[in-house]
A and B are shown apart, each in its own frame.
Chain A
Amino acid sequence: MFPYDEASWSVVDGAMFMGWGSALPGISTAIAAIICVVVLVIGHRSEMEKAKAFDK
């Protein structure tokens, strides 16, 4: 939700983003980081299996 009483951009000084002043930016950063690590692990496993297939 818009973090001001007035639903107007005139009350915002400069750019702003969703979750301003709440835990949302931190939560979304954590989720994004987890996605990256999970993809890295899954990708490494599957790519290693592919590479091993050529090693026989």
Chain B
Amino acid sequence: MHAVAGFFALGVLINLGPRIGKFNADGTANHIPGHNMPLTVVGLMLIIVGFWGFLMACVIVPGEAWSWFGDKASTIYGTPITLSALSFNILMAISGGIIGSWLFTRDPFWMMSGALAGIISTASGLDIYFPAMAFIIAFSAGVILKPCADFLERRGIDDAVGAVTVHGTIGLYGLIMLGVWGSGFPALGGAAGEVPTINLIGQIVGAAVFFLLGFVPGFGCSWILNKLGMLRVPKGAELVGMDRVKVPAEGYPEWGGDAGIKPAHPAE
């Protein structure tokens, strides 16, 4: 699901193009900061809180006519799970993601994005990962998060909030990790021999399918909107800022007219 959304965003970004001032004439990227780091981090934390509700809602209680089992809770796919086990694994994934991204970025934005990446990288196997294993996989996702975002940026893609990397790239990473670690586990509830088991090739094929399911509609829809002139706001409106154009409002009067833009990779 995350991979589909993430690569839909990639398809849109290719047609949308970068923001004004994101890339210099020589192709190097600038870092355009958000206006309020505490609000940004609180927003990302709210997404993390929302993940609990979202993932817990995937637990089917036992004993109902529509339940998979009469005596035990399960995921929507009929694999056994408990709320406490799921909650613990989510917490470990958040921890691993934050620590992994902190190690190389020291940036609150990327740390909170790392927490999301931690959850997303383990989401496909949260019902079967041992908590420490979820931590390790999430840690690795946090470590590769920023380099993956930089890879995209160097190719001229302006992913302002890291959506393609966090949801798309890490979503695929999570699928592959489940194929590496979860091979042989039944993928669904059901009798032996009647349900598929997890395997690496199946996960890789699934990853390719999810990539295409997201990227192709995203690219196609945004290509049409771009041709109709409905995708990118006019240059003048972009320079003034959408707060003033759409509302109008002075959302960040303390900033004046512009944010402090600086090179994304000063060493280059």
Q: Which residues of A come within 8 Å of B, CB atoms?
A: 1-2, 6-19, 24-25, 28-29, 31-32, 35-36, 39, 42-43
Contacts and interface: CB of A to CB of B under 8 A. Distances in A.
Interface of B: 72-74, 78-82, 85, 96, 99, 102-103, 125, 127-133, 135-136, 139, 181-186, 189-193, 195, 197
A18 B80 contact: no
22 contacts: A2-B184, A2-B185, A2-B197, A7-B185, A7-B193, A8-B195, A9-B190, A10-B192, A11-B192, A12-B80, A15-B72, A17-B85, A17-B128, A17-B129, A24-B133, A25-B132, A28-B132, A28-B133, A28-B135, A32-B135, A43-B102, A43-B103
Contact of A9 (B135, B139, B181, B186): B186
B130 A8 contact: no
B103 A18 contact: no
Contacts of B128: 16-18
Report the 7 A-B pairs with minimum CB-CB distance, sorted nearest first: A6-B192, A1-B184, A8-B192, A28-B132, A32-B132, A29-B132, A28-B133
Main secondary structure of the interface of B (DSSP, over half): loop
Given A14-B80, A17-B129, A18-B130, 14 more contacts: A1-B185, A8-B191, A9-B186, A13-B72, A16-B80, A17-B85, A17-B128, A25-B132, A28-B135, A28-B136, A29-B132, A32-B132, A39-B102, A42-B103
B132 A9 contact: no
A15 B184 CA distance: 17
Given A8-B186, A35-B136, A18 B181 contact: yes
B80 A17 contact: no
A48 B226 CA distance: 50
